[in-house]
Amino acid sequence: TTEAAGAHCANGGQKIEAGVDVNANHTLEALEIASTTYVCNGKDGENGSHGVNGTNGTNGTNGANGTNGADGKNSLMLVTEEPAGSNCATGGKKIETGLDANDDGTFGTPEDESTSYLSKHPVPAASGGCTTAGGTAGMPFALLALGALRRRMRR
pLDDT (tens digit, 0 to 9) for every residue of the chain, 155 residues total? 999 999 999 999 999 999 899 999 999 999 999 999 999 999 999 999 999 999 999 999 999 999 999 988 899 988 999 999 999 988 999 998 889 888 888 877 777 688 899 888 765 555 544 444 443 444 444 443 333 333 333 33
In total, how many domains does the chain have? 2
Domain with 121 in it:
75-145
CA 1 to CA 128: how far, in whole Å? 117
Taking CA atoms, 1 is separated from 18, 30, 36, 37, in Å, by: 12, 14, 11, 11
pLDDT number for residue 122: 60
87 and 33 together in one domain = no
79 and 137 together in one domain = yes
79 and 134 together in one domain = yes
28 and 90 together in one domain = no
CA 109 to CA 118: how far, in whole Å? 20
Cβ-based burial of 40 (10 A; exposed 0-12, middle 13-18, buried ≥19): middle
Taking CA atoms, 28 is separated from 25, 38, 123, in Å, by: 8, 17, 128
SS3 of residue 30 by DSSP: helix
